Amino acid sequence: MHFGDTDILTYLAPTALALALGALWTFGRDRRDLRELGHRNLVLSPALAILRRGIKGGLVLVALVSCALGAARWQGKTVPEETGQYGMDVVVVLDVSKSMLTRDVAPDRLTAAKKSILDALEGMDGDRVALVVFAGDSLLQVPLTLDRDALATVLEGDDVDAVDKGGTNFTGALGAALKAFPEAEDGKKHRGRAILLYTDGEPTAGEEGLPMALQVARRRGVAVACVGVGSRKGQPIPDGQSFWGQPIYKRDAFGRVVVSRLDEETLRNMADATGGLYVAGDSPGALSHVENLLSGLDKTFLKGKGSVKREELSPKAGLASAAFLLLAAVI
């Protein structure tokens, strides 16, 4: 026999013993009195009266025992507890190319994007999240996990040196993100899947393979939500400082200052090709509402085996106690 609250038995046991002894003493006294009254013809059937008193007392005692069992949370056999929650698998893909240092979004695109991701993580209850950073190459930094704090710690340390090769290769980034999702098992429903891509657009490599990568994402049910970080007007790309502390900007082969602009057309096409969404994060205010992207995508409710618990018998004990008291009252 198992109880969920054994502490209460410490107080109930002495009380129950006292009540039982009191009931026995009362029953013995009533038995003596009824026999005496019966001999004086005041009671027609003393034996029947004694039996009735005994049954009533027994029913009350059983009711009290049932009440005590209920108070101590009497438990039965073990049963598996079903758990479940709504959620999805999200791979956050962050552009760490040097163009993300452009300051058309304060303080710069990369810092603003990282802050937006950290804010979005707060609303991802039940979601497993992974992190991929990319430029010319791609790197899976954090596999799918429910530990958002660990992912946030890794994210905060990311900069333009997180990958070795410069540039912007969306094909490689999508490939790395798709590999982060678990393989779908036959006959089993997988969680909803999405890629949350933070970038300023402007691909510089791998463009020929991008349509195929988007087809693969759509075929696997992975929606690409694109967050365009930057402005349409754009600004020069910082490339260090001079000896005198003046900013140096990146220049092309002809010596002209390179201006980086948000490439919305590419990002819209990527989102449309996979049934995803696009938002222009051209200001800190716009980036603060990125979680609305994921709320518009499908989340899946999955059941799972939780911890094993015991069947609660307290309600049954309470009903039994009430039944015994009612029966004692009508006898």
**pLDDT at site 31:** 65
On whether both 21 and 139 belong to a single domain, the answer is no
**pLDDT at site 46:** 58
**pLDDT at site 161:** 93
CA separation for the pair 219, 241 (Å, rounded): 46
On whether both 107 and 37 belong to a single domain, the answer is no
Q: Which of 19-28, 55-64, 76-85, 212-221 has the lowest mean pLDDT?
A: 76-85
Does any domain span residue 305?
A: no
| 145-175 per-position pLDDT tens digit | 989 999 999 999 999 999 999 999 999 999 9
**pLDDT at site 311:** 74
On whether both 133 and 92 belong to a single domain, the answer is yes
- Mind giving me the DSSP string for 249-263? E-B-TTSPBPEE---
Sequence-separated (6 or more) residues with CB below 8 Å from residue 164: 137
User: The whole model's pTM is what?
Assistant: 0.66
pLDDT value at 135 more than 80: yes
| 189-211 per-position pLDDT tens digit | 667 899 999 999 889 898 999 99
Torsion of CA 227, 233, 239, 245, to 10 degrees: -120
Does any domain span residue 47?
A: yes
Report helix, strand or coil for 247: strand
Does any domain span residue 303?
A: no
Q: How confident is the model at residue 257 (pLDDT cuts 50, 70, 90)?
A: very high
Average pLDDT, the chain: 81
Q: How confident is the model at residue 9 (pLDDT cuts 50, 70, 90)?
A: low
Q: Which of 318, 277, 302, 293 is nearest to 116 (CA)?
A: 293
CA separation for the pair 244, 197 (Å, rounded): 37
**pLDDT at site 299:** 67
Q: How confident is the model at residue 73 (pLDDT cuts 50, 70, 90)?
A: confident
On whether both 284 and 225 belong to a single domain, the answer is yes
On whether both 197 and 269 belong to a single domain, the answer is yes
On whether both 325 and 235 belong to a single domain, the answer is no
Does any domain span residue 234?
A: yes
Continuous H helices in the chain:
7-39, 46-71, 109-121, 148-156, 170-180, 210-219, 264-273, 284-287, 291-295, 314-330
Q: What percentage of the chain has pLDDT greater than the value 90?
A: 40
Does any domain span residue 77?
A: no
Mean pLDDT confidence for 319-327: 81
On whether both 137 and 286 belong to a single domain, the answer is yes
**pLDDT at site 17:** 74
pLDDT value at 122 more than 60: yes
- Domain hosting 178: range is 83-298
CA separation for the pair 4, 147 (Å, rounded): 32
Does any domain span residue 304?
A: no
On whether both 197 and 119 belong to a single domain, the answer is yes
Mean pLDDT confidence for 140-147: 94
**pLDDT at site 259:** 93
On whether both 9 and 98 belong to a single domain, the answer is no
**pLDDT at site 195:** 94
Mean pLDDT confidence for 67-82: 70
Does any domain span residue 78?
A: no
CB-neighbour burial class of residue 88 (10 A; exposed 0-12, middle 13-18, buried 19+) = buried
On whether both 144 and 232 belong to a single domain, the answer is yes
Q: How confident is the model at residue 70 (pLDDT cuts 50, 70, 90)?
A: confident
pLDDT value at 127 more than 60: yes
CA separation for the pair 213, 169 (Å, rounded): 12
Higher-pLDDT residue of 74 and 37 is 74
Report helix, strand or coil for 239: strand
For the chain, what is the domain count?
2
On whether both 247 and 269 belong to a single domain, the answer is yes
Largest Cα span, the chain = 131
On whether both 179 and 46 belong to a single domain, the answer is no
Does any domain span residue 243?
A: yes
CATH of the domain at 139: 3.40.50.410
Continuous H helices in 72-183:
109-121, 148-156, 170-180
